[in-house]
């Protein structure tokens, strides 16, 4: 029988850009194709996607991309992979409805092979098959993926929690997971994002009571911010607004689009007469209004952040407004979130982010649910994914407590295949992998060199020193021209830089001046010395030597 | 009687750079002179200090600077103010011991008038006097400042908590605070950092049991990271290491210096034989070792961060190490802290930051302690300081619940004086105020323009286009020279930029070419158009026109 390889291309030892391949002989199955967001160390970068080299090099073997759910960290890189890989994409009805317009906008739908599945389908993938199994998460129609190989089932949990009172009434198919366990799960690739959280995650339904109380306590308008993809949360907000006799408007393009798509397909139920246009909101008394809005992460262009700055033309914050923060900060965004919150307070709003009853719960399993998943599926091997090393570490600690010896519990990293044959599992030779940066040019592949330059420019600015030399006479013509940006210091000192450069070049003989490279070097060196010694700064120095 | 003004120059509506003036007629008292740390929106900035214009303009009226405690956010800007203001600085023995070396390093001690006080002293300040009153906080000898004016006492709580079992045994002088309340507190300027936290803050002493358990559970070395200024925490770590029979070494220059100063003056008690040099640590078995280290905020140059990267030559992380994170993340630092934690896990350490018993407690009063302070001192006016708007808002909500009407509870902002006479209080005309940025040049005053340039350069890089024109003939000489940094895009497209610029200049008549300004404009415009249209990028474009 063939060796089975599980090859993480992203999303292992990190949160975001989830993409994993399963290979059996000449067949490759890809589970998810997500993006992640840049850290503050990546200025000008819009999104980060996996390095797809391995898939592209093996494009004739890839049988399909199987989408667990429609969150960006699981689907957002499709527009970058599909132009290079002509394979079917399998996804649920809702996921397809959310993915399709984004693909259309970025790469057009022509030539794409998008296929809808239902949980329980047996999807073809060369000599393997893939069965999606329903689980609960913060977006409907999330599915585990059971990849059926010669050696047994490789089971991806996807992002999940075990919610016994889900908002849409659609329970995790625990029975089917149990059956798969009996059939033989070779390896469980488990969500571990919340492995540090004790006990069981509270049901999404518990948020409803928190929202009711927060709405009831609000003297004026309620503005609720949540992730535009958290469809259950939006449903509950809609329900509570309706109960409380408030009209509802939406601020934020993505949220409007998602709500429209979901309501059209029946994933969100909107009572008739509830929704109003944002521009009509002034016609209602404040305590009869609720507004759903984007901006949970302090994104500069989001509706909430613009409102907090008084720059959102369609809505102004007024004293008496209550802003409900129904989300969690993604690590790294805290500073901009708090800036937004503080601005909202200054504008006269009351911002609620801690409440006696929760107004947010996580969509990811806590530690006891992770144990339950192992108990149900009885995998031979376990490997935590969708988490940082600290989460993986905690998951593996738990697995040891559940009796998994070291050779059956793996700390995976991106790019390193987990190989399994009849008798053992091991970490195989790495495949090409890494982060690929996409900036506003839209062209992936911003290099580390460019990033380093950007960080240097941000910290110290730059100085351009242009010197004109006469190639015939070997003389410097006129004073050096100095241009600079982002450099802090006394401008009268900067004005003396041309003299310093001229002094340095004075010692050059006419023959030396004709050696443009060495002139360029001396211009740069003398400018750097001057700037550091006289102004205490170390900007990027660009010497330009013009020969005439 | 004179109107009393309380003039916040920093530290109100923000955390950090605490500095407030109290003015009565021609006398000004300054309480604290702190710095804050830059946000991620201030690349290349090292520290942020208050704008001292008001104090400098009134330098003949300033009677002294009164230091509540030696944390950087209360003393770190002294080296920038003292050269411009020749006034006495009053501080406790410990605070002076910690401030003096920093002043010596930066500006020298010559001409400085540093005066030691003890709690209870009546310090002269023109027609006012100032009495320091002991409170508990995370550094010894923290004092409230009671500024005694004609209208009554203006009481600054400083950073405080009410710890009934302080590590050094020195209790808050609650009785004296009560007496001051009876004498008549006109206004209470209260810490509000933890106004969102319910109940009472746990005593620093509770951390000891948490540390004991964490030490006992560690199979190998213990590395504990805390703030280098948290002297009580260092004392407790020393005590627990000693109890557990471990030797202790210190990694981090600032921590070593602080420990040395404090131990010399008796503020830290180190059992003899406990301390070893870091370089000797390899001579002891791992489970007989504890290491105190800096780096709680993921600072790139700190010992812990360098260890996590394997770049700290004096100590390598080894499997079996336990790292105790005995601190809290300052908002904005989360991303770099988690990166450090994840690297430590990858290096084989176990990192403990959540524990059943706390290994960190805050040094700031929770909401019930803030109420207690009001109850003790019975101020006529209250105003929360040392907090962001969200904390001030919560404090004022609490004050309303305690019966303070709106005209006796003030939301202050930096630069706006709170004025009080016999009958009322009001917000007065603003004085000059603001943030002053200090970068590695050491010269304060980096401008918003420079900051904007830096952010633009970070996001998009820059392109310099140099064109040579012959002033006699009105012709462009040779192709444009293009230099760029931080720009992402196809280099073969960039190679076509000189042609695009040449095409744009082709339409210029010889007379137009002699108009250097318009040539410069056209070079910039044509380059920008080309870069945006052909490469999708919008870098900073610098046109240079050389006339020969």
Element (H, E) at B155: strand B152-156
Which tokens is B224 given? 């504990």
Mutation for B interface: A350, A391, A441, A460, most B CBs within 10 A: A441
Element (H, E) at A468: strand A462-470
Q: Is the pLDDT of residue B515 over 90?
A: no
Cα-only R_g, chain B: 29
A354 pLDDT band, cuts 50/70/90, is confident
pLDDT of residue B491: 85
A464 and B454 within 8 Å at the Cβ level: the answer is no
Exposed/middle/buried for residue B99 (C-beta within 10 Å: 0-12, 13-18, 19+): buried
B468 and A548 within 8 Å at the Cβ level: the answer is yes
The angle subtended at Cα A475 by Cα A471 and Cα A479, nearest 5°, is 115
A360-399 residues touching B, CB cutoff 8 A: 388-390, 392-393
φ and ψ of A71, to 5 deg: -75, 150
pLDDT of residue B490: 84
A461 and B450 within 8 Å at the Cβ level: the answer is yes
Give the span between the Cα atoms of A490 and A488, in whole angstroms: 7
Tens-digit pLDDT profile for residues A195-251: 999 999 999 999 999 999 999 999 999 999 999 999 999 999 999 999 999 999 999
Distance of CA A354 to the CA centre of its chain: 25
Q: Catalytic residues of A, which ones?
A: 191, 364
First to last CA, chain A: 73
Shortest CA distance from A336: residue in chain B:
B332
CA of B259 vs chain A CAs: smallest distance (Å): 31
How many angstroms separate the Cα of A182 from the Cα of each of A312, A380, A506?
56, 12, 85
pLDDT of residue B261: 96
Give the span between the Cα atoms of A202 and A207, in whole angstroms: 9
- Can you list the domains of chain B with their CATH numbers? 4-199+362-448 (3.60.15.10), 206-352 (3.40.50.10710), 461-547 (3.10.20.580)
ipTM of the complex, rounded to two decimals: 0.91
- Please report, rounded to a whole number, the percentage of residues in chain A having pLDDT higher than 70: 100
Q: Are B482 and B491 in contact (CB under 8 A)?
A: no
- Mean pLDDT, range B261-282, rounded to an integer: 96
Q: Is the pLDDT of residue A40 over 90?
A: no
DSSP at A104: H
Q: Are A130 and A153 in contact (CB under 8 A)?
A: no
Shortest CA distance from B484: residue in chain A:
A542
Tens-digit pLDDT profile for residues B73-109: 999 999 999 999 999 999 999 999 999 999 999 999 9
φ and ψ of A479, to 5 deg: -75, 155
pLDDT of residue A509: 85
pLDDT of residue B17: 97
Summarize chain A as % helix, strand, coil (round to 5).
Answer: 35, 25, 40
Give the span between the Cα atoms of B442 and B433, in whole angstroms: 20
Residues of chain B found within 8 Å of residue A343, distances taken between Cβ atoms: 389
Give the span between the Cα atoms of A117 and B443, in whole angstroms: 64
Of A342, A540, A544, nearest to B390 by CB-CB distance is A342
Q: Are A259 and A251 in contact (CB under 8 A)?
A: no
Which tokens is A78 given? 């499709």
Inform me whether the C-beta atom of residue A355 falls under 8 Å from chain B C-beta atoms.
Answer: no
CA of B459 vs chain A CAs: smallest distance (Å): 4
Among candidate residues B159, B191, B239, B414, the one labeled active-site is: B191
- Mean pLDDT, range B2-12, rounded to an integer: 97
pLDDT of residue A272: 95
Element (H, E) at B144: strand B142-149
Tens-digit pLDDT profile for residues B401-410: 999 999 999 9
pLDDT of residue A471: 82
CA of B299 vs chain A CAs: smallest distance (Å): 14
Of B389, B439, B461, nearest to A454 by CB-CB distance is B461
Inform me whether the C-beta atom of residue B492 falls under 8 Å from chain A C-beta atoms.
Answer: no
Q: Are B89 and B113 in contact (CB under 8 A)?
A: yes
- Mean pLDDT, range A309-322, rounded to an integer: 96
In sequence order, what E strands does B395-505 have? Answer: 418-420, 425-427, 435-439, 444-446, 462-470, 475-485
How many angstroms separate the Cα of B166 from the Cα of each of A46, A312, B278, B325, B488?
49, 50, 30, 21, 56
Which tokens is B339 given? 């990166």
DSSP assignment of A12-38, as one string? BSSSS--EEEEEETTEEEEE----BPP
pLDDT of residue A548: 82
In sequence order, what E strands does A105-141 have? Answer: 114-116, 123-125, 128-135
Give the span between the Cα atoms of A361 and A203, in whole angstroms: 7
CA of B269 vs chain A CAs: smallest distance (Å): 35
pLDDT of residue B88: 98
- Mean pLDDT, range B174-203, rounded to an integer: 97
Question: How many DSSP H helices and E strands does chain B contain?
Answer: 17, 25
Tens-digit pLDDT profile for residues A361-415: 999 999 999 999 999 999 999 999 999 999 999 999 999 999 999 999 999 999 9
pLDDT of residue B415: 97
A196 and B546 within 8 Å at the Cβ level: the answer is no
B536 and A440 within 8 Å at the Cβ level: the answer is yes
The angle subtended at Cα A545 by Cα A542 and Cα A548, nearest 5°, is 160
pLDDT of residue B202: 96
Tens-digit pLDDT profile for residues B129-141: 999 999 999 999 9
Q: What is the largest CA-CA distance in chain B?
A: 90
First to last CA, chain B: 73
Element (H, E) at A241: helix A231-243
Torsion of CA B393, B395, B400, B405, to 10 degrees: -80
pLDDT of residue B460: 93
Q: Is the pLDDT of residue A8 over 90?
A: yes
How many angstroms separate the Cα of B361 from the Cα of each of A258, B168, B201, B262?
43, 16, 8, 21
Question: Exposed e or buried b for every residue in A501-534, given b needs 16+ CB within 10 A?
Answer: beebbeebeeeebbeeeebbebbbebbbebbeee
Give the span between the Cα atoms of A354 and B15, in whole angstroms: 20
Q: Is the pLDDT of residue A520 over 90?
A: yes
Residues of chain B found within 8 Å of residue A392, distances taken between Cβ atoms: 345
Q: How many CA atoms lie within 13 A of A72 on its CB side?
A: 13
Give the span between the Cα atoms of A428 and B444, in whole angstroms: 54
DSSP assignment of A488-538, as one string? -S-HHHHTTHHHHHHHHHHT--HHHHH-HHHHHHHHHHHHHHHHHHHH---
Q: What is the pTM of this model?
A: 0.93
pLDDT of residue A1: 84
Q: Are B164 and B171 in contact (CB under 8 A)?
A: yes
At A354 the three-state DSSP class reads coil
Inform me whether the C-beta atom of residue A217 falls under 8 Å from chain B C-beta atoms.
Answer: no
pLDDT of residue B547: 87
Inform me whether the C-beta atom of residue A406 falls under 8 Å from chain B C-beta atoms.
Answer: no
Which tokens is B355 given? 């524990």
Of B345, B389, B544, nearest to A346 by CB-CB distance is B389
B453 and A485 within 8 Å at the Cβ level: the answer is yes
pLDDT of residue B489: 83
The set of residues, in sequence order, having a beta carbon less than 8 Å from that of B314 and lying 6+ positions away, is B251, B278, B279
- Mean pLDDT, range A254-280, rounded to an integer: 95
- Mean pLDDT, range A519-532, rounded to an integer: 95
A463-482 residues touching B, CB cutoff 8 A: 464, 466, 468, 477, 481
A334 and B331 within 8 Å at the Cβ level: the answer is yes
Mean pLDDT estimate for chain A: 95
Pairing of strands A475-485, A540-547: unpaired
Q: Answer with the residue of higher pLDDT: A510 or A123.
A: A123
| CA proximity to B325, closest of B301, B349, B360 | B360
Q: Is the pLDDT of residue B539 over 90?
A: yes
Inform me whether the C-beta atom of residue B13 falls under 8 Å from chain A C-beta atoms.
Answer: yes
pLDDT of residue B354: 84
pLDDT of residue A510: 83
- Cite the DSSP H helix spans in A70-146: 72-75, 78-81, 93-107
Q: Is the pLDDT of residue A193 over 90?
A: yes
Mean pLDDT estimate for chain B: 95
How many CB atoms are closer than 10 A to CB B426? 12
A505-534 residues touching B, CB cutoff 8 A: none
Residue with tokens 């409230």: B144
Our answer to whether residue B364 is catalytic in this structure is: yes
- Cite the DSSP H helix spans in B71-151: 72-75, 78-81, 93-106
A440 and B538 within 8 Å at the Cβ level: the answer is yes
DSSP assignment of B117-135, as one string? --TT--EEETBEEEEEEEE
Exposed/middle/buried for residue B371 (C-beta within 10 Å: 0-12, 13-18, 19+): middle
Give the span between the Cα atoms of B417 and B9, in whole angstroms: 9
At A409 the three-state DSSP class reads strand
């Amino acid at each position: 029988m063939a060796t089975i390889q599980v090859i993480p291309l992203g999303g292992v030892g990190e949160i975001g850009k989830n993409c994993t391949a399963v290979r059996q002989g000449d067949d490759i199955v890809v589970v998810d194709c997500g993006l992640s967001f840049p850290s503050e160390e990546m200025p000008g970068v819009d999104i980060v996607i996996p390095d797809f080299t391995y898939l592209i090099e093996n494009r004739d073997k890839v049988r399909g991309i199987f989408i667990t759910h429609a969150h960006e960290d699981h689907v957002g890189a499709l527009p970058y992979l599909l132009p290079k890989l002509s394979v079917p994409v399998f996804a649920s009805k809702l996921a397809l409805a959310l993915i399709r317009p984004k693909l259309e906008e970025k790469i057009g739908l022509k030539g794409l092979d998008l296929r809808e599945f239902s949980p329980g389908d047996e999807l073809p993938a060369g000599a393997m098959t893939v069965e999606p199994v329903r689980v609960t998460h913060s977006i409907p129609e999330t599915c585990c993926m059971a990849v059926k190989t010669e050696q047994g089932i490789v089971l991806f949990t996807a992002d999940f929690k075990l919610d016994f009172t889900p908002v849409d009434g659609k329970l995790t198919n625990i029975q089917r997971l149990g059956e798969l366990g009996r059939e033989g799960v070779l390896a469980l690739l488990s969500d571990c994002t919340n492995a540090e959280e004790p006990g069981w995650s509270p049901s999404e339904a518990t948020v409803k009571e928190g929202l009711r109380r927060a709405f009831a306590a609000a003297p004026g308008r309620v503005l609720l911010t949540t992730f535009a993809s958290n469809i259950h949360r939006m449903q509950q907000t809609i329900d509570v607004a309706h109960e409380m006799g408030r009209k509802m408007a939406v601020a934020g393009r993505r949220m409007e689009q998602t709500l429209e798509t979901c309501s059209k397909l029946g994933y969100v139920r909107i009572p008739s007469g509830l929704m109003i246009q944002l521009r009509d909101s002034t016609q209602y008394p404040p305590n009869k209004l609720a507004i759903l809005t984007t901006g949970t992460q302090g994104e500069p262009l989001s509706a909430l952040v613009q409102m907090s700055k008084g720059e959102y033309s369609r809505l102004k914050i007024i004293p008496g407004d209550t802003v409900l923060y129904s989300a969690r900060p993604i690590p790294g965004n805290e500073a901009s979130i708090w800036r937004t919150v503080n601005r909202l307070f200054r504008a006269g709003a009351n911002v609620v982010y801690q409440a006696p009853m929760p107004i947010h719960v996580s969509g990811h399993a806590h530690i006891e649910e992770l144990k339950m998943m192992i108990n149900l599926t009885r995998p031979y091997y376990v490997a935590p994914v969708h988490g940082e090393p600290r989460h993986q570490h905690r998951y593996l600690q738990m697995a040891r407590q559940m009796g998994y010896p070291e050779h059956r519990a793996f700390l995976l990293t991106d790019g390193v295949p987990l190989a399994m044959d009849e008798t053992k599992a091991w970490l195989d030779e790495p495949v090409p992998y890494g982060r690929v940066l996409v900036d506003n040019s839209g062209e992936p592949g911003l290099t580390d060199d460019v990033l380093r330059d950007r960080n240097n420019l941000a910290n110290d600015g730059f100085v351009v020193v242009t010197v004109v030399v006469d190639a015939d006479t070997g003389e410097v013509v006129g004073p050096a021209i100095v241009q600079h940006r982002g450099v802090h210091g006394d401008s009268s000192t900067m004005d003396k830089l041309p003299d310093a450069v001229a002094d340095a070049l004075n010692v050059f003989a006419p023959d030396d001046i004709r050696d443009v490279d060495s002139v360029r070097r001396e211009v740069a060196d003398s400018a750097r010395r001057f700037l550091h010694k006289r102004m205490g700064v170390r900007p990027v120095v660009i010497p330009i030597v013009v020969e005439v």
